[in-house]
């Protein structure tokens, strides 16, 4: 059963989703426009912002990634709910 999360959870998650969407879109664009200096700069700046937001999110809620890309608390919480389809 899905956990009930505070309103802040959804807000913080949406901010991450918005930034990561910019990264997906720029990444595909740069795959076919690899000399666009401004787009590369925007990509790198957005990557930094996204990483910062994820550090904040993981402190407040739960780890986002498995296999060592996020830190675990005690007890183990890499497998914490809610899963994306439960949000």
Contact positions toward other proteins, by CB under 8 A?
A: 13-14, 16-17, 20-21, 24-25, 27-29, 31-33, 62-67, 69, 83-85, 87
- Return phi, psi of residue 80, to 5°: -65, 145
Residue 66 beta carbon to other proteins: minimum distance, rounded to whole angstroms? 5
Q: Is the CB of 32 or the CB of 38 nearer to other proteins?
A: 32
Q: Which residues of 22-36 are buried (b: 16+ CB within 10 A; e: fewer)?
A: bbeebeeeeeeeeee
CB of 22 to other proteins, least distance (A): 12
């Amino acid at each position: 059963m899905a956990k009930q999360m505070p309103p802040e959870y959804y807000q913080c998650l949406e901010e991450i989703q918005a930034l990561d969407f910019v990264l997906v879109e720029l990444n595909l664009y740069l795959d076919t426009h690899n000399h666009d200096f401004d787009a590369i700069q925007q990509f790198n700046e957005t990557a930094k912002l996204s990483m910062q937001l994820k550090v904040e999110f993981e402190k407040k809620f739960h780890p986002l990634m498995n296999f060592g890309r996020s830190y675990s608390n005690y007890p183990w919480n890499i497998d914490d709910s809610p899963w994306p389809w439960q949000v």
